[in-house]
Amino acid sequence: MAIRNLRYEGDDILKKKSREVEVIDDKLQTLIDDMIETMHKYNGVGLAAVQVGILKRVIVIDLYDDKGPIVLINPIIIKTKGEQEVEEGCLSFPNQFAKVIRPAEVVAEYTDRNGKRMRVHAKELLAQAIAHEVDHLNGELFIDKIIPGTLEYIEPEE
């Protein structure tokens, strides 16, 4: 496993649409392991492959609860319900936080890393994370949908 280099604000790749995964091979498994390690290194709750420079529809999410890291390949949001106003950041925008409106609930389908098609009914933070990461796969960034005037720069504590 290895830490991959993150792509940051201003990198054109972040605006590109990622491609469907067609085969789950060793190379993809390595990418997934590296994405999880990279997300953990930077204390993120989610990471999309595009953020490490790979335009594949793969996201990893970890809420640091008993569910462990979740891997979603080719995720599709099939239903959303309600709204939540939430504070949000992104590993590609270090130290920047803003309020955004996300769905309160999300039903998503995805393929897990074993190739099994799955469905998740997510609420609260998980719904927010899935919506944020699926946006990345479509080249959409949270910074373009923030509630005006809510952007804050917060320096990390040493």
Catalytic positions are 133
Among candidate residues 37, 38, 27, the one with its CA nearest the CA of residue 5 = 38
Question: To the nearest whole angstrom, how small is the minimum distance from the Cβ of residue 23 to Ni ion?
Answer: 26
Indicate the pairing of strand 58-61 with strand 70-81: antiparallel
- Under the criterion CB under 5 A, does residue 90 sit at the interface with Ni ion? yes
- How far lies 109's CA from each of 112, 134, 139, in Å? 10, 11, 19
Residue 81 φ/ψ, nearest 5 degrees: -140, 130
Amino acid identity at 82:
G
- Under the criterion CB under 5 A, does residue 71 sit at the interface with Ni ion? no
Per-residue contact track with Ni ion, 9 to 28, x per CB under 5 A?
A: --------------------
- Determine the size of the site formed for Ni ion (CB under 5 A): 1
- Under the criterion CB under 5 A, does residue 72 sit at the interface with Ni ion? no
Question: To the nearest whole angstrom, how small is the minimum distance from the Cβ of residue 136 to Ni ion?
Answer: 6
- Residues of this chain that interact with Ni ion (CB under 5 A) are 90
